[in-house]
């Protein structure tokens, strides 16, 4: 994906997105985000986005309270496996931004890394791609030499991402024109329609 698409991925997640799942299987890491602004929601279902990192992958979590990263206690080091549901509201997200990564070292007291690369160091990332996500409780960096994005229905490319983003924007505008009886929290206080004071 190009830089413009990565910025769009950020935009569709940070307004109301939640990080809900982490799976690690040997050299692949899967992260799932829900309540993202892609596609036209069907009834009460929100769209989800899965990001897959493969080939020399790593996951580093930054934290102040060890209990916030309890989900990592289930990591099977021998088989390099983890599958855990989590729930963190995304505050911010960046791709391949070393300056933003440095704020994590300042804002959090501790860090823990998982990688099958023997000499991996979060201070010397050598991967082609990495993503940085900050929540109220924790932050994390995840990366690899391959990064892919999936919805429940398809693998995303620049074109399909743009199309799904446009579908969601049309849904948002139609929602506010109708002022539906059934409320959609993602639309009710969307920052695009209501500027912060």
DSSP of 112-159: EEEESSTT--TTS---SEEEEEEESSEEEEEEESEEEEE-SS-B--HH
pLDDT of residue 197: 41
Phi, psi of 80 (to 5 degrees): 55, 55
**CA gap 23, 193 in Å, rounded:** 35
pLDDT of residue 180: 62
**Residue 115: which of 106, 127, 98 has the closest Cα?**
127
Say if residue 40's pLDDT is above 80: yes
What are the tens digits of pLDDT across the range 113-165? 999 898 999 999 999 999 999 999 999 999 999 999 999 889 999 999 999 99
The pLDDT > 90 percentage for the chain reads 74
Q: pTM, whole model, 2 decimals?
A: 0.90
Which residues are registered as beta bridge partners of 131? 95, 142
Give the mean pLDDT of 4-10. Answer: 94
pLDDT of residue 107: 96
Say if residue 29's pLDDT is above 70: yes
- Domain extent listing, the chain: 3-150
In the structure encoding, which two tokens stand for residue 125, read together? Answer: 């990332």
């Amino acid at each position: 994906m190009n830089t413009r698409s990565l910025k769009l991925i950020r935009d569709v997640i940070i307004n109301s997105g939640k990080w809900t799942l982490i799976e690690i299987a040997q050299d692949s890491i899967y992260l799932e985000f829900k309540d993202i602004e892609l596609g036209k929601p069907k009834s009460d279902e929100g769209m989800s986005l899965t990001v897959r990192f493969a080939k020399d992958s790593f996951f580093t979590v930054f934290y102040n309270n060890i209990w916030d990263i309890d989900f990592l206690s289930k990591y099977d080091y021998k088989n390099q496996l983890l599958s855990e549901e989590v729930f963190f509201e995304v505050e911010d997200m960046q791709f391949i931004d070393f300056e933003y990564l440095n704020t994590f070292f300042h804002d959090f007291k501790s860090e823990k890394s998982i990688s099958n690369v023997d000499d991996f160091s979060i201070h010397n990332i050598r991967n082609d791609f990495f993503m940085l996500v900050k929540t109220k409780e924790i932050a994390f960096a995840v990366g690899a030499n391959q990064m892919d994005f999936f919805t429940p229905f398809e693998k995303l490319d620049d074109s399909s991402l743009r199309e799904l983003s446009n579908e969601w924007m049309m849904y948002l505008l139609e929602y506010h024109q109708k002022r539906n009886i059934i409320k959609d929290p993602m639309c009710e206080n969307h920052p695009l329609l209501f500027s912060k004071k």
